[in-house]
Structure 1
Amino acid sequence: MISDSDNNDVVFEARDLKINAIRDDGSELPIVKGANFKVRRGEVVALIGESGSGKTTISLSALGYCKPG
C-alpha cells in the first residue's frame, strides 16, 4: 500500500516541454509543444494519443535519449 506522503514524491516532471526536429535545410520542425506533467512515486502512467502525436518522442526525452529544445 502506498501512503499519501509517498504519493507526493515527484520522480519526474516536465514543464512546457518542447522538442524540435532539425530539417535538412537547418530549420526547426516542432514535434512536441508545451507538454506538462508530473509522475509521482507509485503511480502508473500511460501516454495515449493518435499515431504521430509525440508519445515516443516524449518517452525518449524523459529517458534522456533526446534533448528537449
Structure 2
Amino acid sequence: MLYLDRPAVPWRGRLWSHLISDVSYAELHAFAEALGAPRRGFDRDHYDIPAERFPVAVWLGAQVGDRAAGQLGQ
C-alpha cells in the first residue's frame, strides 16, 4: 500500500509531502511515475511530492497518514 503525509515540509517556497510504500520500491516507483513525480524526487525510502500533486496522489489511491504520529506505513 502507498501512504502519503499531508503537505507540511517547506522547501524552495513550496510545501511537500512524503510518499512511501510498505510493499516494495517497485510499487513506489511505479506509483510515482503514474503521478508524474520525477525520479530525482526519490530520497532513500520515499518520494518528495509537492502540495499541488497531493490531491492527485490521493485520487490515485495513496492513503493519507501523519508521519509524526507514526501513521505512515502501518
- TM-score when normalising by structure 1: 0.28
- Higher helix proportion, which one? 2
Which has the larger Rg?
A: 1
Q: Which has the higher contact order (CA 8 A, sep 6+)?
A: 2
- TM-score when normalising by structure 2: 0.27
